Structure 1
């Protein structure tokens, strides 16, 4: 297994900190074991993991609270970059409104213990809400120093274009990043309502747009909810799958994805790396500006993901992995 890679970084307009290409999620943090959560965050920073993805809705707010307590204890907010998100829908109603945006932002600022969010995403979209209302409120919060830069998570390309066109016309700050699902595994069905994926052959046009515009992508579920973890093997396509996450299999357990897994296993064996590293390299090698969001549960998992930055794939291998060609 290839380990011990060195982190790589990018830059995004409006953000004055380097952004790690492997972004650490926060849903694995444990409110019942703060010491273990702090130890994991410390180990990730030691490996160059300076960028953390969280949200107002994660762990009922505890993901932000733990991250905030850790930054306060380590006094390191000036050295790490925080991405958080608001306006997530509930089972009761859609919450992409100016009111909910402002309320969620203020909750996040309080939980994180910071005066400004480095990169703030709207977690969902509601096409019935005019972009003018949302961009105007976001721009006001940027002007007040509460947000550094803004992004759109699970927004269609058309809505991003509409919002940014309005922002430019009004001299306001546009979305500088997008966060769709992006993985070597193509989703069989959406895991949650109102999500957007750019994975698989059906989304080729979307990826072409990101490639042309260079809009940064923060790829959620880049490892497909554990499909690329190594616990799933291609010979399991016909069963048995005892012990595997049924939710993951419902979303990703298609015959096509098992064939992608088989091909990733072949490449991993040839390269002496892991299947997870091949899967991450697949999205990182797409000639897009990609940041892979993953939820490492141990320092070793994070090290494995960082080492994927050193794995290179040819265009022929990319097509072969995505079942667009039978040969490489």
Structure 2
């Protein structure tokens, strides 16, 4: 495993991390979750990502049970949660948002579900138009001072809002966000490469990127239609199918253009797409969301293929996808 600093802070995360979105409590049961987390940890993965809203809190409960059962030393791994959407299917106003009340209560609830004393990373899952950023920054600072959160960050916030959070933190001597969790892959590049460009050097922001395979598009699995067990067929994720396939006409065809390059290099489309993400120096860790052991092992094997992705190959891949 390779390890990278989370931006300019001192925390070192594994180049690949493991997340629970969609899979835990839905595609993955307890025995499978135990095997997946055990394999990941054995292969050097030290960051396990989660959120209050994943399967209405069930994903965190499942991960917490497994981590407690495996008894890894707590200082050998990092675990995260995210706050905003709430942990119930039909949240009341006080059960969601980035208000001081929900940020703090959601943290306590996540600690209980994950069976840990503190969160290594705590993300504001989306910007909240109804809560002043100053209120959210102060709430996160309080949790940091209490030792319940070690580092906090944002997920899919506009760069302007992140900069405002940093200004408030600097002016009021509060803990500032150190990480952003954006979507990033060969088909979705604008925010990480352009919008966030000023944030890396100015504020030392790291990134924990999600959907490196564009929800499977970059694996080639949708070339002949959507498999029955794919996440795009999961109940409640119709919006994702519409976003990727219905609205994004031509994405399947664009993704397939990397297949000949992968074959030439002796790697899979999956490994080529993951290696491309890792080639970005501003990517601190790439979140994997595998639901099967062989799938996770194959993804982690990408690290052995990295030397094949030199600057010339990277340029060919980008030109092919467009």
Match of 2:42 in 1: 46
TM-score (norm 1): 0.81
Q: Deviations over 1:253-285 (max 9, x none)?
A: 445533432331121101111111111122221
The structure with the greater share of residues assigned to helix is: 2
Matching residue within 12, 24, 29 for 1:29: 24
Q: CA deviation at 1:13?
A: 7.2
Separation in 1, partners of 2:36, 2:226: 30
Separation in 1, partners of 2:112, 2:244: 37
Q: CA deviation at 1:250?
A: 3.0
Separation in 1, partners of 2:254, 2:280: 16
What are structure 1's unaligned runs of at least 5 residues? 1-6, 187-198
Match of 2:222 in 1: 232
Match of 1:56 in 2: 52
Residue 286 in structure 1 maps to residue 283 in structure 2: no
CA RMSD of aligned residues (A): 2.8
State how many pairs are aligned: 302
Residue 158 in structure 1 maps to residue 160 in structure 2: yes
Separation in 2, partners of 1:285, 1:210: 19
Alignment of 1:133-212 (within 5 A): 133-186=135-188, 199-200=189-190, 204-209=193-198, 212=201
Match of 2:79 in 1: 82
Q: CA deviation at 1:166?
A: 1.1
Name whichever of 286-295 and 136-145 sits farther off: 286-295
Separation in 1, partners of 2:137, 2:312: 41
What are structure 2's unaligned runs of at least 5 residues? none
Q: CA deviation at 1:106?
A: 0.7
Q: 1:324 to 1:241 in 2, by over 3 A?
A: closer
Q: Deviations over 1:127-146 (max 9, x none)?
A: 34221101111111111111
Separation in 2, partners of 1:241, 1:64: 28
Match of 1:10 in 2: 4
Name whichever of 283-292 and 88-97 sits farther off: 88-97
